[in-house]
Amino acid sequence: MKLFRLLTARRSAPLARERLQILLTHERGTTGSSGLIAMLREDILRVIAKHVEVAPEKVEVRVEHGDEVAVLAIDVEIPEAAARAATPRRGGWAA
């Protein structure tokens, strides 16, 4: 019975490790040590929410460090309908 269990048991530690790595990469971004990213994210979310309904988890703010400059990258995923409404129609009224 014990041998059977040994043979069939799935190792759980690799899964724990993987889950932690994914989770912490995300959490470090939102509760980062400087707090700057968290604050920016809050403000950006608030500004966008005034005009478009957006889920908090769809707003990603991160700092990408290059060789000479750091880039503040902001990714916001908005609903397709809102995106269509936001895109100016070509051709105007005449079309």
Partner 1 sequence: MAEVIVVTSGKGGVGKTTSTAALGAALAQTGQSVVVVDFDVGLRNLDLVMGAERRVVYDLINVANGEVRLQQALIRDKRIETLYLLAASQTRDKDALSEDGVRRCIGELQGKFDWVICDSPAGIERGATLAMRYADLAVVVTNPEVSSVRDSDRIIGLLDSKTMKAAKGERMEKLLLLTRYDKVRAGRGDMLNIDDVLEILSIPLLGIIPESEEVLRASNIGAPVTIANPQSAAARAYADAARRLNGESVPMTVPSNRQTLLNRLFGRRAA
Q: What is the contact surface with partner 1 in residues (CB under 8 A)?
A: 9, 11-14, 16-17, 19-21, 23-24, 27-28, 31-35
* Structure letter (DSSP) for residue 63: E
3 vs 94, beta carbon nearer partner 1:
3
Shortest Cβ distance from residue 61 to partner 1 (Å)?
16
- How many Cα atoms are found within 13 Å in the side-chain-facing hemisphere of 84? 3
Shortest Cβ distance from residue 54 to partner 1 (Å)?
26
Length of the chain: 95
Handedness of CA 73, 23, 33, 44 (dihedral sign): positive
Shortest Cβ distance from residue 93 to partner 1 (Å)?
54
